[in-house]
Structure 1
């Protein structure tokens, strides 16, 4: 049994230690009285600046894990035991570093947002430190464990965090042409006529006459991936039609049949609409819609446009009954927004407590590679390979975000199935 002393057993400290040790299967206890710590058998470590622990393995703490409010911190890259960590108001602190990153503390303080009111990856602390493509929480956790083992002359016999590839798909537009009716259909045709987009007009005619498959109809491909043993997740947009919410209507029976068929081979979750980010009532309505279609509870979600407004978005998801969310990533940058790839329980900084919502970080989004970073296919393949190697090395889920319309070898996505194929490679990765 590992014993850890702290002057105060705070919510934040308890959260960090659970994150480090629970999945690694290390038994530990936290104590706050001197006698219990000094009488405890090895291994042990003091997280305190108390001079009476000078002869014990010891880490000097910053104040971050003993605070209960969100406030500006002087955060710099520093060094602890030859490792790069964060310092807080001049104190290098590996445990506080873990908490600062996993709690998304920096995102709360970031004032500059993009035109969708999202945090900007290139403005994040991890990006500035050149750490965004590294699993810093896992790296620091292993360094902390190494310190305990070296200082106590022991082995904690940690259990490795498993590695898994998790392909996920957002369905923003179920079809390019099929089942679109009324004004939407004629406006779209009119737009193509005005622009003299003859290839698109011919394609629409071929699809609607049954001579050609709809280019967004890639559900057979998603099914093959699921049948090959991958834990595929699909998130469906059902929001009312709007500027950024353009899928078929939820009441369209053809649309409902596709959703049900997909749920037959993998788990379908909700893709809350752009509009739902402004209203818990709209979010709850969309949750009820998809549950009515699937005739079951739907507990998994991913935000449309990866819109996250901290802490409101996650609070609302939890309030209406979601247990798991797959939105955690930046749109403009790939990598690990919370320094971790395995699912973890979100810590609500505003309430200073552990929530009931589990977050599943994404490793990359298709549009980040192609549209934001403008990588070539070859560059994207190499980038995906390196990200997957990082997750394989430190453990976690390699969650890739694709769309049904981006895997069809169509338009600006022609050839990008090579990047998806790299993602799905399961052979041994050199680490």
Structure 2
């Protein structure tokens, strides 16, 4: 166990030390503000305060972990070996930056509480982030800093054996609409037919009725392929089905359709199933509650995981609503148009509510890859190169690689050419570790 001496055992300090030490490095941590207890401890120990006590392992603390509320810090990002960091802390410190303060800034999404420009869906944009502006978005810097901290501790305590951590993957299948043509109802089918006809989309018109008459397979129905891939993997896939009401933004299948319910039940026999909350559920706790109840009736078990439609987050309200409904995990923390690490970490972490200054029970499982983000890469080779580099970053810190694909990504649509290969790259990356 690591014992930390500090002048103020604040909620922020306990939160971030437990993420870095316990979640990332697998080391238990405890805290004291009594010098006698600190001296008596005969294992890993360090001081985290303004002044070094003696010759102990010491990291000079930044004020952010002892404050309450928000402060618009003037942050200067600097190079540090093969990465970046901020909040420098002077020569006496065992490492040149206060990685705990910097990690808290990223994990708490401090910058998303400050004034910023949102996109047309009300989302925090990657281009507004410190990581994007200073070119470290594609590095899990919190985990990298944790391993630098570990290396410094090992130098001071060479006899201590750190637990071994392992790389893992979490494939996410997002299902905003299970079928392209099937189960759409008379009005939507008629409307689609008219649109296809007047826009001269004759191939779509042919496909629509070939599917409806049973001569062709629905292009979005890729569930058999995905389940077959699941059977060959030791890591559970996690499906998010949209079962909210039809709206301007959400155009899924009617959740009362028996065949749609059967599909969800079938998938749940092999994979984990969570709720893809609808666009309007993010702002309306009653809608979210209704959708949660609807999904629990389908899967016949308590709902554990959620993901927000369009990857929308409105901090802290979005997460407070999930906590209120006792949803345990959320998979919305990431960017739609950029690869990388929105919260700086590839290790799931607990949501810290900056308004209430409390660590909550909601586990945030950040994703680092969403299929749309690679469409800007022109060739399959470029896509593989970008994905491979991201996987290598996560492997280097024994993190969890979380990737979001959609069910239609595995269709024969030309737009998604090569995406099955990318999916297999991720699955194979975990097999390489065995």
TM-score past 0.5 threshold:
yes
Residue 416 (1) aligns with residue 405 (2)? no
Aligned 8 A contact 2:169 2:400 in 1: yes
* 1:81 CA drift (Å): 9.7
Give the whole-Å Cα distance in 1 for the aligned partners of 2:304 and 2:64.
33
Aligned 8 A contact 1:409 1:415 in 2: no
Give the whole-Å Cα distance in 1 for the aligned partners of 2:385 and 2:166.
23
Aligned 8 A contact 1:389 1:429 in 2: no
* 1:5 CA drift (Å): 1.1
1:200-226 Cα offsets, whole Å, 9 max, x none, are 001111111111100000000111121
* 1:78 CA drift (Å): 3.7
1:260 to 247, 252, 265: 265
Q: Residues 322 and 62 from structure 1, CA distance in 2 versus in 1: closer, same or farther, beyond 3 angstroms?
A: same
Give the whole-Å Cα distance in 2 for the aligned partners of 1:89 and 1:115.
39
3-state SS of 1:47 partner? strand
Residue 31 (1) aligns with residue 32 (2)? yes
* 1:41 CA drift (Å): 3.3
Where do 1:16-55 residues align within 5 Å? 16-23=16-23, 24-41=25-42, 43-50=44-51, 53-55=53-55
Instruction: Look up the match of 1:321.
Output: 326
Q: Residues 377 and 124 from structure 1, CA distance in 2 versus in 1: closer, same or farther, beyond 3 angstroms?
A: same
Give the whole-Å Cα distance in 2 for the aligned partners of 1:337 and 1:155.
36
Instruction: Look up the match of 2:338.
Output: 333
Aligned residues: 426
3-state SS of 1:321 partner? coil
Q: Residues 312 and 94 from structure 1, CA distance in 2 versus in 1: closer, same or farther, beyond 3 angstroms?
A: same
1:347 to 346, 352, 359: 352
* 1:327 CA drift (Å): 1.1
* 1:184 CA drift (Å): 1.3
TM-score normalized by structure 1? 0.93
Give the whole-Å Cα distance in 1 for the aligned partners of 2:81 and 2:11.
26
1:53-96 Cα offsets, whole Å, 9 max, x none, are 24333222110000121221111114789974212799942210
Following TM superposition, where does structure 1 have runs of at least 4 consecutive aligned residues deviating by more than 3 angstroms? Answer: 38-43, 78-84, 88-92, 426-430
Residue 126 (1) aligns with residue 127 (2)? no
1:169-206 Cα offsets, whole Å, 9 max, x none, are 11111111111112211111111111011010011111
1:9-55 Cα offsets, whole Å, 9 max, x none, are 0111111111122243424431112333344435432111236x243
1:197-256 Cα offsets, whole Å, 9 max, x none, are 101001111111111100000000111121112310000001111111001111111211
Instruction: Look up the match of 2:406.
Output: 403
Q: Residues 416 and 26 from structure 1, CA distance in 2 versus in 1: closer, same or farther, beyond 3 angstroms?
A: closer
2:163 to 159, 165, 188: 159
Where do 1:87-102 residues align within 5 Å? 87=87, 92-102=97-107
3-state SS of 2:288 partner? helix
2:117 to 101, 104, 112: 112
Where do 1:245-394 residues align within 5 Å? 245-370=250-375, 373-394=376-397
1:98-142 Cα offsets, whole Å, 9 max, x none, are 111111112222511111111111221111221111111111112
Instruction: Look up the match of 1:219.
Output: 223
Aligned 8 A contact 2:107 2:343 in 1: yes
Instruction: Look up the match of 1:197.
Output: 201
TM-score normalized by structure 2? 0.93
3-state SS of 1:337 partner? coil
Aligned 8 A contact 1:223 1:262 in 2: yes
Out of 210-219 and 16-25, give the one that drifted further. 16-25
Q: Residues 426 and 88 from structure 1, CA distance in 2 versus in 1: closer, same or farther, beyond 3 angstroms?
A: closer
* 1:429 CA drift (Å): 5.7
Aligned 8 A contact 1:62 1:92 in 2: no
